[in-house]
Structure 1
Amino acid sequence: MALQQIVEQTVAGLGYDLVEIERSAGGLLRVTIDLPWQAPTPETQALPEQRITVEDCEKVTRQLQFALEVDGAEYSRLEVSSPGIDRLLRHEQDFVRFEGAVIDVTLREPIGVAAAGQVSANRKKFRGTLERTEAGGWQIVWSDEPPVKPGQRVSKKRVPAPLQALGFSLDELREARLAPLVDFKGRANKAAS
């Protein structure tokens, strides 16, 4: 059985989602897992989001070591981890799950047409909010206005930069990840806002 199949079956059998498998130099096998996602319902919306714990990674590591040994898979080290704050988005379900989040998108090919003179014709990387289009596809919405620095005064007369949008299909993407934005003020402030 192929390594990919062994890992997928083992991870799914334990009740987790496989996000990524990566083989690195020196025989390192890196497996990234996440909890299965289900669309929020009115009952589950108020519950805090669950995250992968060290115990989850430990359980998957033990089971994978056994499964890989039985099958005779070649690796020297196994690393099982959570996706982290810059989680990779690969499948349609990932995009549905993180709709409204800020993401980083890298296209396979640079866009060929400047949208009303606003987007550089050779640009491949974008950061913005992930939104679903009316046609059922995906788009990323952003503004090229520089962020306001703490303590900086902003004129009330200043006209904000216009929002820009770029529609894309999953086939056009080289990579899409959650933007690694960190709020050092803590989670308590999110509940208050």
Structure 2
Amino acid sequence: MSEVIDRVSKTVQPILDDNNFYLYDIEYVQEGGSWYLRVYIDKDQGVSLDDCVLVSDQLSEKLDELDPDPFDEPYFLEVSSPGAERPLKRESDYQNAIGKYIHVSLYQKLDGKKAFEGTLESLDDDQLTLSVKDKTRVHQLEIPRKLISKARLAIEF
């Protein structure tokens, strides 16, 4: 599976460079008996439907030309934006999220909870610091990175 992702990444990168997009993520997964190749793209001004169609059309053509074909099964190609509540996977994702509102899910409870939302104030190799609003106050919460199962941008209500 990583061979597929590597080949797709190398194939899509020139298309993205030519159109001022950057690659956010690639997934190659099986769901309900079908294979899906999902390519998530982004740019500073945000991604439109036309942007996704442009990359999808060009990438589809390039993937059809790959030799040898890295795909063992038929698949569906999906090109999209990672969305407003995009996952934080790489270190650069976390760095770009400093000052933004995020949701963090934990493997085990911290202060009696397994999920927190707040503004990411800082991070280092060992922990994240969130500014968390409770009903009556705002406080800083330090979350050990080894406890984090998932993190994503969140919309504050």
The interval holding the TM-score normalised by the smaller chain is 0.7 to 0.9
| 1:5-31 Cα deviation digits (max 9, x unpaired) | 122212322222232425233223222
TM normalised by structure 2 equals: 0.76
The RMSD of aligned alpha carbons is 2.6
Alignment check: 8 A CA contact 2:104 2:115 kept? yes
Gaps in structure 1 of 5+ consecutive residues: 36-48, 112-118, 146-159, 183-193
In the alignment, the residues of structure 1 paired with residue 139 and residue 76 of structure 2 have an alpha-carbon distance, to the nearest angstrom, of 46
Match of 1:52 among 47, 52, 65: 47
Task: Indicate the SS of the match to 1:110.
Answer: strand
Q: Which residue of 2 aligns with 1:179?
A: 154
Identical pairs, percent: 32
Matched to 2:148, the amino acid is L
SS at match of 2:82: coil
Q: SS of 2:130's equivalent?
A: strand
Structure showing greater Rg:
1
Q: 2:54, 2:98 → 1: CA distance?
A: 30
Residues 34-76 of structure 1: per-residue CA shift (max 9 Å, x gap): 22xxxxxxxxxxxxx5111223212321233234332252333
1:2 aligns to what SS in structure 2? helix
Cα 1:56–1:100 change in 2 (3 A) is: same
Gaps of 5+ in 2: none
Q: Distance in 2 between matches of 1:68 and 1:135?
A: 38
Larger strand share, 1 or 2: 2
Q: Aligned pair 1:168/2:106, yes or no?
A: no
TM-score computed with the length of structure 1 as normaliser: 0.64
- Give secondary structure in 2 for the equivalent of 1:109: strand
Partner of 1:66: 61
AA at the equivalent of 1:79:
E
Query: Which position in structure 1 is the counterpart of 2:41?
Result: 33
